[in-house]
Structure 1
């Protein structure tokens, strides 16, 4: 049987292309996101990902599914609450719900007025009624975190990160992880042996603070 060398070479090139193809990152932005920020992030991420950018109101979001990383920029209170309560009446919340149901990697960067969700702060000077309202928003954040959504500043996002969502991180867990950085919640207990093992492997911890009010 004679082999068509040209066809064989074409098949090999197609297979090689798929093997080396970068993972797809879906970047969803709000109207408050500046063009400069989108251009900067697209340039930054294109080294490791195939970046596709969509406005949160773009009807084409309904068709998106073949991505490995989903990033929401300038997340507002509306998406925070809708996501935590499982509502799907907007394009963004529908995309989020679908991603959660399929266990896809999701990253939230809060809008400027919600970035306090990422930090530990002194609560002594905040009025009690404000604390109660903030506590409700923190519950939404915690619920989304339990669902698998990670919160942070998007500049720190890299493919080499591992999100660990269990309550206890042990040495055995570290031995199974082959990344340069592990993201954990502030409530996760990291054993001393796990810290030693991470140091030996050159792994750094990034902590997401779940502030209690």
Structure 2
């Protein structure tokens, strides 16, 4: 075998090996695409505003989820989404959804999501109802709050805007952004401490509606908090309904 034939055979072997490596690489990419697909997060809004853009630009969420903003397309395939965030919820839609009336693309999609058992999350800032807290007649406002309570009882989650990302990620205890110590995290989750027959004291930095419910079950009419305590809107609403007041101490 002369040198020319030897070089040709080597070239053929190298070409075959390169072809094998390319095919293996294509198979690996395809497999990774199938196995490593991100879960999908749907953002539903009644109007195309800024709420959806803030979520779509969130780097932490983009790293974990494939996010889609729907402009109320009733043909949307909801089965593919793991979680759904409502970027807005007007009083009109609140009333319709609780009555099972899906006469708009938005309410129809939300009702379908509920019936399919999807995890639905609503930031308090998306609620139109809270804008009328100071002006609405208490009786009428209480009636609307009962509709909100109904949605909570069927599994829809409500949270303040700062808690939205942890809620989406499924974190059980929401800590402050600047707090990284384990001790701070534990302190936020401590239960309230009885200080009298009708008063309870919270050591948590963020008080949610669930905390107020627990206090109410203890027959509390007064809750003692610190000056830096954060009280969510739903917690304030529930406390107001049940005649529970807050004091600094």
| TM-score of the superposed pair, with normalisation by structure 1 | 0.62
Q: What is the CA deviation profile of residues 190-212 of structure 1, one whole-angstrom value per residue up to 9, with x for unaligned ones?
A: 9xxxxxxxxxxxxxxx9752615
In structure 1, how many angstroms separate the alpha carbons of the residues matched to 2:49 and 2:116?
27
In structure 1, how many angstroms separate the alpha carbons of the residues matched to 2:46 and 2:214?
35
8 Å CA contact 1:24, 1:69 repeated in 2 = yes
Deviation, structure 1 residue 134: 0.7
Q: Which residue of 1 aligns with 2:178?
A: none
Does residue 141 of the first structure (1) align with residue 157 of the second (2)? no
The one of 170, 185, 196 equivalent to 2:210 is 185
**Greater relative CO (CA pairs within 8 A, separation 6+):** 1
Does residue 27 of the first structure (1) align with residue 43 of the second (2)? yes
Deviation, structure 1 residue 92: 1.6
SS of the residue corresponding to residue 137 of structure 1 reads helix
Deviation, structure 1 residue 18: 3.0
Deviation, structure 1 residue 157: 2.2
After TM superposition, the structure 1 stretch with the greater mean CA deviation from structure 2, 98-107 or 11-20, is 11-20
Structural RMSD (CA): 3.5
In structure 2, how many angstroms separate the alpha carbons of the residues matched to 1:149 and 1:186?
17
In structure 2, how many angstroms separate the alpha carbons of the residues matched to 1:41 and 1:50?
11
Instruction: Name structure 2 gaps, 5 residues minimum.
Output: 1-19, 174-207, 216-230, 242-249
- Which of the two has greater strand per residue? 1
8 Å CA contact 2:42, 2:85 repeated in 1 = yes
Larger radius of gyration: 2
